[in-house]
C-alpha cells in the first residue's frame, strides 16, 4: 500500500499538500514497519500522521524513526 501511495505521488499529488516532516509520513511508516513489524509500525506511523497538521509550516520538521 505504501509503495503504491508513494508511486502515485504521495500527498503532494493525491491531496495537494506537502508533508511537514522529513522523512515524509509514508516513508517514516515504511521504515517503522521494517524496524518494528506491521502492528507497531502502523501504530507509530498513524501517530506521526496525526501530528501532521501545520499547513503553514515554513521549515520541515526532522523526525527520525525511534
pLDDT tens figures, 7-62: 888 877 877 777 788 898 899 999 999 999 999 999 999 999 888 777 677 788 88
Strand partners, 62: 22
The structure's pTM equals 0.82
Angle separating helix axes 25-36 and 38-51, nearest 10 degrees: 150
pLDDT for res 30 = 95
The values of phi and psi at residue 21, to 5°, are -115, 160
pLDDT for res 55 = 67
Q: What is the DSSP letter of 22?
A: E
6 or 16, greater pLDDT: 6
pLDDT for res 21 = 87
CA distance 24 to 65: 11
Amino acid at each position: 500500500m505504501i509503495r503504491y501511495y508513494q508511486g502515485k505521488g504521495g500527498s503532494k499529488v493525491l491531496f495537494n499538500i506537502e508533508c511537514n516532516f522529513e522523512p515524509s509520513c509514508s516513508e517514516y511508516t515504511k521504515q517503522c514497519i521494517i524496524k518494528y513489524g506491521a502492528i507497531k509500525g502502523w501504530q507509530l506511523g498513524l501517530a506521526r500522521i496525526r501530528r501532521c497538521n501545520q499547513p503553514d509550516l515554513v521549515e520541515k520538521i526532522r523526525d527520525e524513526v525511534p
